[in-house]
Amino acid sequence: MRVHAAVYARGLHRHSTYRAALVAGALTNSVFGAINAMVLLAVFAARPRISGYDAGDAVTQVFVGQALIAVTLIVNTAPSLDLAERVRTGDVATDLLRPVSLLGWWLAQDLGRATFTFFFRGVPTFCVGLLLFDVVLPGGPVHAVLVLASFALAAVVGFALRYLYSLSGFWLLDTRGLWTVAGLVGPVVSGMLLPLALFPSVLADVLRLLPWASMVQIPAEILLGKDTLPGGSVFGALLLQAAWAAALLALGAWATGRATRKVVIQGG
By CB under 8 A, name the binding residues for other proteins: 18, 20-21, 23-25, 27-28, 31-32, 35-36, 38-40, 42-43, 46-47, 50, 77, 172, 174, 176-178, 180-181, 183-185, 188, 193-194, 198-199
Distance CA 106, CA 95 (A): 9
How far is C-alpha 68 from the geometric centre of its chain's CA atoms?
6
> Which one, 1 or 173, has the nearer CB to other proteins?
173
10 Å CB burial of residue 105 (0-12, 13-18, 19+) is: middle
Residue type, 198: L
Identity of the residue, 34 or 153, whose beta carbon is nearer to other proteins in the bound complex: 34
CB of 234 to other proteins, least distance (A): 27
Q: How far is CA 28 from the centre of its chain?
A: 17
Compute the least distance from the CB of residue 64 to other proteins, in Å: 18
Torsions phi, psi for 53 (to 5 deg): -95, 140
The partner residues of 241 in beta bridges, in order of sequence, read none
Provide, rounded to whole angstroms, the least separation between the CB of residue 107 and other proteins.
26
CB of 198 to other proteins, least distance (A): 5
For the bound state, the minimum distance from the C-beta of residue 241 to other proteins, rounded and expressed in Å, comes to 24
**CB atoms near residue 47 (< 10 Å):** 8
Which of residues 24 and 263 has its CB atom nearest to other proteins in the complex?
Answer: 24
User: Whose Cβ is closer to other proteins: residue 27's or residue 242's?
Assistant: 27
Residue 221 φ then ψ, to 5°: -70, -30
CB of 125 to other proteins, least distance (A): 12
Q: Is the dihedral of CA 172, 175, 181, 187 positive or negative?
A: positive
Q: Which residue, 8 or 199, has its beta carbon nearer to other proteins?
A: 199
CB of 118 to other proteins, least distance (A): 17
Q: Which is nearer to other proteins, 32 or 105 (CB)?
A: 32
Amino acid at 39: V
CA distance 146 to 225: 11
Q: How far apart are the first and last CA of the chain?
A: 31
Considering beta carbons, is residue 145 or 181 the nearer one to other proteins? 181
Tell me how far CA of residue 234 lies from CA of 141, 229, 240, in angstroms.
15, 7, 10
Query: Residue 49 is which amino acid?
Result: R
**What whole-number distance in Å separates Cα of residue 30 and Cα of residue 175?**
30
